Amino acid sequence: MRYRTVASLLGAAILTIAAPAAVPADVTPARVIVVSSIAQLQSAADQAVAGDRIELVDGTYTTSGSITLRRSGTATAPITVAAQNVGGAEIRGTSGFSFSNADFVVVEGFRFTHSGTITIPGGSEHVRFTRNVVQLSGGTNWVTVTGNDAEVDHNTFQNKSTQGVFLQIAGPGGDDMAQRTWIHHNYFHNHTFDGSNGGESIRLGLSFRQLASAFATVEFNLFDHADGDSEAISVKSSDNVVRFNTLRNTRGSIVLRHGNRNLVEGNLMLGGTAGLRFYDNDHVLINNVIQGGTGQIIAGSGDIADDTTGSTSHARPDRVVVAFNTVVGNRTALLQVGQGTDRLGPNQCTFANNIFVGGGSGGLLDVDEATGTTWQGNIVWAGTGGNAPSSGYRVVNPLLVTDPGGLNRLSSGSPAINAAAGDVPRAGRDFDLQTRSDLKDVGADEFVPGNAPRRPLTTADVGPNAGAEPPQANRFEAESATIFHGVVEANHAGFTGTGFVNSDNEIGSYVEWTVTAAAAGPATLTFRFANGTTANRPMDITVNGALAADELSFPGTGAWTTWQTRSVTASLTAGANTVRATGTTANGGPNLDHLAIG
């Protein structure tokens, strides 16, 4: 995998993380081919070459068979098949697009209302499905991904009343999983199937594929009235990341139904019955917020200890960490450990540094059955600790306040500040992506005076018309920095903010940012750049005058409209810091778009 800079859409930090390699968002087409019928579209697709962009003019089109994409692009020059205007071309009839060994292909901007389902199959890799509206008139599971390295982003999935899922990730063969699927910035809403099972918004795997590692990332998606199942995001595979999603007024929860070693981080579950539930082994659930409804955290019980065959049985949770979550609800048993006393309860699980605030009375922690459990640092208020070990929690008012975005946060003087206990994995940041201090705070929020960057996602952040790069508190635009021997320009597409810096072709030209760190410590500095030449344009990176990277390479990106990132790790001091990127050759530096701090 390569490193990508992923916008958090939290009104907050930007985070440099390992994510699936994706088709570039901004490329210069080799040709733009405009078509006005399904027959012309199919003909153009059959003759497409790498870099082509085929645009279907606005209108409503009725198919009697699949539109088959069988030509491949490249990593830097995908083939794009798009509506001429996002949402302007509607595909009705029996079928939409199908793929046949088509790699590096983008499908963009359509409204799909046809009856047949959509599948990105094995053998078609690096397919991007972006800025579409999916409201099919038939079919069970509307979109299925089986091929590797697919990207599903900025789509709307809406208005399903029958059994079946909006989006499922499967895989080739009998028990494998598609690899490195990246699902982000989608809007899932109004799934109204009222049956007992089979109406998830996202199903990531299947029972018989649960032992396969998918390495999928599901992030920055908005779920609203995802009511077709008790599981809005149903994970049934291993080694996945589910983070920074917002579930609002939703029946479905984030559920780790099968599989091992999944990370659930920084999700917001607001209203409805949405919460967290898990089975199987070695998961981490951290920095999540549940508030405003009847959602809870459920550590399930197992019919079996471990599933080694890919069955549909519930497997006992082993070695799961539930830490630094904030749960505010109007029900008792905000944390349910085990389900009954006649099964296999959670084993060697850790419940640490969580905040539970109830409706005023009753046991907020309910332990039906568990063995070898670790309890430490939890806070309970407006209710009792139930039958959990009294050494594992305090009954004290955490002094939560509601921020302008409606989220519960710590206030000054909260007993949760600097009160976390023990050593918990992945506890280096809070749900705002702020670095936690050595003396960490209990709950999802690390208290920083005057700083509340997280906000729930809204429809402005997701779906076909959302901006790909909204403003970020921890993204610093180059055009707003101090510039020595360079100019601000906006003549190459794909930049964030209002432009980029084109440094003079000389040794010593630089861009210098002033950035603020909440606490001292290491940070990742990510520079977004474009270099339309074939020559490397290295730069010295200094922080507060000290060299952090000697001649960091900024290689050619293929075009001035193709933006990439380079990252270094450096130590920041608490408060203001200066970060300078200085050209070290007569060519100067590349075009610099922004600096992100993660």
Work out the average pLDDT over 115-122: 97
Q: What is the pLDDT of residues 531-571, one digit of tens each?
A: 999 899 999 999 999 999 999 999 888 889 888 888 888 88
Do 215 and 237 contact (CB within 8 A), yes or no? Answer: no
**Strand 500-503 versus strand 486-489 pairing type:** antiparallel
What is the rounded average pLDDT for all residues in the chain?
A: 91
Q: What is the rounded average pLDDT of the residues 70-81?
A: 96
Q: What is the pLDDT at residue 473?
A: 56
Highest mean pLDDT among 4-18, 272-286, 421-435, 524-538: 272-286
3-state secondary structure 334-352: CEEECCCCCCECCECCEEE
* In contact, 580 and 503? CB cutoff 8 Å: no
* CA distances to 354, 377, 409 from 417, in Å: 12, 11, 11
The share of the chain scoring above pLDDT 70, in percent, equals: 94
CA-CA-CA-CA dihedral for 585, 590, 592, 598, to nearest 10 = -80
What is this structure's pTM?
A: 0.77
pLDDT at 5 over 60: no
CA 159, CA 233: separation in Å to the nearest integer?
17
Please give the C-alpha separations between residue 147 and each of 13, 115, 128, 132, 539, in angstroms, as whole numbers: 32, 22, 11, 19, 38
Q: Which of 393, 372, 392 is nearest to 383 (CA)?
A: 393
Residue with tokens 């520079």: 527
Could you list the beta-strand ranges (E) of 251-288. Answer: 253-258, 263-265, 268-272, 276-278, 284-286
pLDDT given at position 13? 29
Q: Are strands 217-219 and 182-184 parallel, antiparallel or unpaired?
A: parallel
Element (H or E) spanning 38, and its range? helix 38-46
2 falls in which pLDDT band (50, 70, 90)?
very low
Measured in residues, the chain has a length of 598
pLDDT beyond 70 at 16 = no
Distance CA 523, CA 515 (A): 12
Q: Which amino acid is at 262?
A: N
Q: What's the whole-number mean pLDDT along residues 111-135?
A: 97
Determine contact, residues 128/105, Cβ cutoff 8 Å: yes
Beta bridge partners, 411, equal: none
Residue type, 487: V
pLDDT in tens, 22-41: 555 555 667 899 999 999 99
What SS3 state is found at 390? helix
327, 335 Cβ separation under 8 angstroms: yes
